[in-house]
Chain A
């Protein structure tokens, strides 16, 4: 648990910023703190005794405010808002703000629960700021002045230890520790501080190119199991790429040819 992580000595303090969004409950769709963003804040609060900076970019109204207060209820006293109109792209606002007031560790959820939910914000932001990005972070093991050690979540509970140079953006995975309870009194007393208000309509979606979704070829799933035990084994077993091959030290052309061959075999590429 990151909560029990040894706190850093104060001379080694790094500035931590958490980017949060508005989430929605999967069953009822009621607005709430977003699960992964709350986990990111939980992680940040375990990093040092200093309070992390919490930033939200997006629209602000009476139905959104209680959801944002969910983060304040976790024990931070202030939430900074970069107010944007509904359709604005939040990346320019975030990158401008973070450029002006940099932070060495920026934590955020991997994917928003509302809106396009493309999961691209961390990537676009890392690109705009020129920071390193680590996706699917499960645990932050150590943060020092210029470097952090994190565990990245891989499928089936596997973890990969990564050393990353700071500043970096760490996108938190759902495999990270659950966020602490949000306390009502802290939530109502915390401050929502609007630091930027850009309500000019700059509908980002105007520039988008829309295309009908293409039907993707579906991999046939042949269930051979006859008993519950077999089905369980099939579900739990590590998907070994049977018949695959590992190509090392081949030329780009040879590699590409091998990939094309597989794609044709699988029926992904026709002709």
Chain B
């Protein structure tokens, strides 16, 4: 009886899955156009799924093994079942393979169930608690189904009772695994995820690459709405990406804003985008909410404003402005979803279309427009800190080896110490360098993260225009934000440069034996990775090698390297200043204290400012340039 029913069950399940897939695809295609190489994406997809995605999942060994067993077993079992029972192929070998596949899937399913016994806070509950049961039912049903065909059980074993039970099990299994996959069940992640990986908006990220620069807005059409107001303003592959979320909550676990009790949770944000995509309210969401925002109060639809102009929409604006753009969520996401892109897209709408940048945002943007720096300082005073240093300016020398990009830290007295230390190092190494001086403008980093793409592009184009006039081999900067913007975001606007962060540059000088250093004395040191140097640009080793070269007793924090916790200073977060339960730099300082270090080495003016803002007593905050400058053996001949 079951053998005659099987083809029908499979056919109905597949048919319903296809219908569901088409319906879902129609939702995605409401989004804006995106420049995607469809065929190349589909060709690359299996490798992206099996290699790139697996590498991220593998950071949790338990779940990566579980996932391989479950997903591999399921895919194989499904294909085999279609041939064995859909097309009624009679093959003992295939039956044995089905037995093995469903067995593997069962092992995986049991492991999923174990993880779900007391699930960590970051995991979503609700329908996800049903998934291990469904997986087990599917696996067990096909396991038993394959036994007679493999010759391990006589045909007709168990009689009508077992046949009925099996039928029920297979119906449940197929409903969850096939139909649920395209109709919005937990298995949706497999279907949407595969397509998301194929049509990812940053294909450069696969195969070990890196793509972190924000994408430029096009201002040619003055009537086109800027940024993302409603879900359909995202590109179709962004919408697809939201649908790929497995709600594993790894993003939530690393989000500094969430930990600080600010109203942001990257996982919830992506789920809210899914709610917006399909229409509805967030009442059925079963993970951690935004801190301080109860579930069920927000709702939206594909053509409704995400941040309502009046009343409550899908999101409150504070949620978007709490993000420090530290990219920890993106780094951690096994589905490679681009949270930061989505947040900045929505910020662009709030700033450019509505003029609603909160708190000091409007003032900072006005300063950037009127004075080319966020603090509103006289642009003619950019070089005041170096009045006694006699730095050569490019306006005078026209060509140089190294252009020292100062960044807006030039106006900040604390960062001026770092700059002076770095100048000392450069002089000691005999590097031929020059500065732009008062011709330099803000790189546009803060404007861009605050959503003011117009001001960013204006500043960027002016800087590129200035840089065009001169000849230099490379740009070196002490500011990872300028570093990132110059290196990764200017090329799209026509400025391509060789850019180094000062730590990389000093490390190279040291390797080339241009720096003579004595050991630095002064206790244990830990290194805080700036987000825009580490996660955005993959520079993790150079600063550490430099500290080691100084003979420093270096200790690592629990969260360091690509898992480094943000200082709270990125993305304009100190400007928009969304209240939470605690401050992000305080949490980071606790990490530093826990490492037992008495000095924290930093490489970013923002991190310096944020960490030094933590009340004493606390470890001392020193830039790596200062540590190196303190350890220079200065020769008499080089004045």
Contacts and interface: CB of A to CB of B under 8 A. Distances in A.
Residue among B353, B356, B369, B379 facing the most chain A CB atoms (10 A cut-off) = B369
A183 B355 contact: yes
A32 B226 contact: no
B226 A184 contact: yes
Interface string B331-364: 0000000000000000000011111110001100
Contacts of B376: 27
B370 interface: yes
B353 A185 contact: yes
A201 B104 CA distance: 91
Interface in A173-214: 180-186, 188-189
Interface in A46-97: 73-75
B372 to A, nearest CB: 8
A74 B222 contact: no
A185 B356 contact: no
B361 to A, nearest CB: 8
A184 B454 contact: yes
B230 to A, nearest CB: 15
B514 interface: no
Contacts of A249: none
A232 to B, nearest CB: 24
A182 B355 contact: yes
Q: Looking at chain A's contact residues, is the secondary structure mostly helix, strand, loop, or mixed?
A: loop
B355 A188 contact: no
A184 B458 CA distance: 12
Interface string B358-396: 000110011001110000111100000000000000000
Contact of B226 (A28, A74, A181, A185): A185
A183 B361 CA distance: 12
A264 interface: no
Contacts of B225: 185
B370 A186 contact: no
B347 to A, nearest CB: 13
B371 A183 contact: no
B355 A74 contact: yes
A27 B370 contact: yes
B223 interface: yes
A180 B452 CA distance: 15
Given A25-B370, A27-B376, A28-B371, A181 B356 contact: yes
A185 B352 contact: yes
A37 to B, nearest CB: 15
Interface string A210-240: 0000000000000000000000000000000
A183 B353 contact: yes
Residue among A27, A184, A186 facing the most chain B CB atoms (10 A cut-off) = A184
A184 B226 CA distance: 9
Contact of A32 (B352, B356, B370, B454): B370
A30 interface: yes
A180 B354 CA distance: 10
A183 B370 contact: no
A28 B378 contact: yes
Contacts of A75: 355
Contacts of B223: 189
Interface residues of A, number: 17
A188 B222 contact: yes
A186 B356 contact: no
A183 B223 CA distance: 14
B357 A181 contact: yes
Contacts of B361: 181
A68 to B, nearest CB: 15
B309 to A, nearest CB: 12
A182 B366 CA distance: 9
Contacts of A188: 222
A25 B366 CA distance: 10
A34 to B, nearest CB: 13
Contacts of B351: 181, 183-184
Nearest to B452: A184
Contacts of A184: 226, 351-352, 452, 454-455
Given A180-B355, A183-B351, A28 B452 contact: no
Contacts of B378: 27-28
A153 to B, nearest CB: 22
A181 B362 contact: yes
A27 B371 contact: yes
Contacts of A180: 355, 362
A3 B222 CA distance: 28
B365 A181 contact: yes
A184 to B, nearest CB: 4
Contacts of A28: 370-371, 378-379
Contacts of A185: 225-226, 352-353
Residue among A28, A30, A186, A188 facing the most chain B CB atoms (10 A cut-off) = A28
Residue among B355, B356, B369, B379 facing the most chain A CB atoms (10 A cut-off) = B355
Contacts of A189: 222-223
A186 B352 CA distance: 8
A185 B352 CA distance: 5
Contacts of B454: 184
A28 B379 CA distance: 8
B639 to A, nearest CB: 37
B140 to A, nearest CB: 58
A31 to B, nearest CB: 10
Given A28-B370, A181-B362, A181-B365, A186 B353 contact: yes
Interface of B: 222-223, 225-226, 351-357, 361-362, 365-366, 369-371, 376-379, 452, 454-455
Interface of A: 25, 27-28, 30, 32, 73-75, 180-186, 188-189
11 contacts: A25-B370, A28-B371, A30-B369, A73-B355, A181-B356, A181-B357, A182-B355, A184-B226, A184-B352, A185-B226, A189-B222
Closest 6 CB pairs of A and B: A183-B355, A181-B362, A181-B355, A25-B370, A184-B454, A184-B352
Given A28-B379, A182-B355, A184-B454, 11 more contacts: A27-B370, A27-B378, A28-B371, A28-B378, A75-B355, A180-B355, A181-B355, A181-B356, A183-B352, A184-B226, A185-B226
